[in-house]
Amino acid sequence: MPIQVNSHDTFKENRWEKTIGFVPKISRGGGTGRRASLRGLWPQGCGGSSPLPDTFMKKLISTNPAKNYEKIGEVNISSVSEIKEKVFSANQAKKSWRDLGIKERIKKISPFYKMVEKRKKEIVLLITKEIGKPITEAIDDIDWDLTYFKWYLDNSEKYLSDEITHKEGKVIHRVVYEPIGTVASIVPWNFPFGNFLWGVIPNLIAGNTVVFKHSEECPLTGKMIEEMISMLNLPKGVFSEVYGDGKVGEQLVNENINLIWFTGSSKVGKKLYEIAGKKFVKAILELGGSNPAVIFDDVNIDEIKSKLYYKRFLNCGQVCDAVKRLVVHQSIFDKVVNELKKIIESKKVGDPEKEETDIGSLVAKRQLELLESQVKDAVEKGAKIITGGKKPGRLKGAYFLPTILTNINQEMRVWREEVFGPVLSVISFKTEDEAIRLANDTNYGLGAEVYSKNEKRALRVSAAIEAGTINVNKGNHWLPCNPFGGYKDSGIGREHGKWGLQELCQIKNIAIG
């Protein structure tokens, strides 16, 4: 059975059959009609070839998880020959795209910024329909995405220009950043436009060509993106897109590519890392998270409670970098729980297309079922539901009430697994050492939060937590100039900032004497 290469493999669901009237117009192009074997990675045997038909499923049907899975539209699933043709074209284009130079590449890509601004309402509504994200959050997402896009346009040349590392008389040592080549970029659905921008635009600016696959949960957003990129009139092969589920992703990464750029689950990320190792190509992997927030007894709870709510329940809790485990000093445990309960119970769960809605639906029925099973496991092992813990009775679709769980132990799935939904597990600690031990008691290491008025203690604890990003008190690492990535099972490599740009390059040293 082939490995399913999805952008968040726990959310795989072919929920494709119904319509609400919008299908982006796009010319798909086509394959060459050539038939070929898929050289893929198999759970047993690792690396043999297996013949696949030239086509996978015919159609990918997009449904609305907030409207009882009614159909929105459909796209054609990419055939094996089409995937091969697009990778071939990307490889044909990479030399000329590299030789164009960074100034000209930025010039060709920059009009996309105004395209997004012009079609913002259309983009936002489609995102809301496809993944159940509240429309107010979708609006904020696009604004935020554009700040990253503008940063890439304004700063990439500075960070990818040649550097002089040594100069002595006629001796000059120079570091040069060169493109890696053809990139297979696979991204998830939870920030549909942002994930595309992060996985594609820096690669194009750096001089790489990209074959892109969006999540099967938002294929119409993927189509809209392809339509908009086509209006840039980039040279053939510089950017192309394929559509489908894990089988399409598997086919893509097993083609003649030079870099795998992936955001998604740790399980799939590890499989992709195996493929990259066998191909001896680089992989940049931003994977799952189970971020702790450590709250010491000297905090002002009124000052931090809104941030804690936002950090857990944004996007219905479907954020890799969200706070998923709250580690609270025992002396303020009850107060923190009660204050968060008040906030949660004041929020409106409902139709994400309405501006008054605070929390929409989960992305898919399968994700709802996974979340229900995680909460059930916790309750069976002694967890107490403070609020939520179930589906709202009046709503049809992938809805789950925002939930607080206490009486947590470390054998529960909500503690051991990534929880991708509106469920917050809260546990108490007595000492600083215990807080650090609880924070690090996870296979993940994407991010963490530390709350204390004692700055020395906050910095000491931040240094001890095994994670790629730490927010202290009101701090927020989400700026495009900062690197993003994790420790342990949360990934390899970094995105964003100069570090993320340079990850996309071959780094060459030229010493002249």
Q: Which of 82, 130, 250, 286 is catalytic?
A: 286
Residue 165 tokens read as 């590392």
| Chain Cα centroid distance, residue 56 | 25
Distance CA 482, CA 480 (A): 5
DSSP string, 359-412: B---S-HHHHHHHHHHHHHHHHTT-EEEE--S--TT--SS----EEEES--TTS
Alpha carbons within 13 A on the beta-carbon side of 511 = 3
What is the dihedral angle through the alpha carbons of 246, 251, 253, 258, rounded to the nearest 10 degrees? -160
Query: Is there a contact between 405 and 317 (Cβ–Cβ < 8 Å)?
Result: no
Concerning whether 466 is annotated as a catalytic residue, the answer is no
| Chain Cα centroid distance, residue 248 | 18
Q: Residue 265, SS3? A: coil
Concerning whether 286 is annotated as a catalytic residue, the answer is yes
Q: Which of 218, 316, 320, 505 is catalytic?
A: 320
Q: Residue 262, SS3? A: strand
The angle at the Cα of 430, spanning 427 to 436, to the nearest 5 degrees, equals 70
Residue 389, phi-psi category: left (phi > 0), alpha (psi -120 to 50), beta (remainder): left
CA distances from 365 to 93, 452, 494, 496 (A): 41, 39, 32, 32
The residues annotated as belonging to the active site are 286, 320
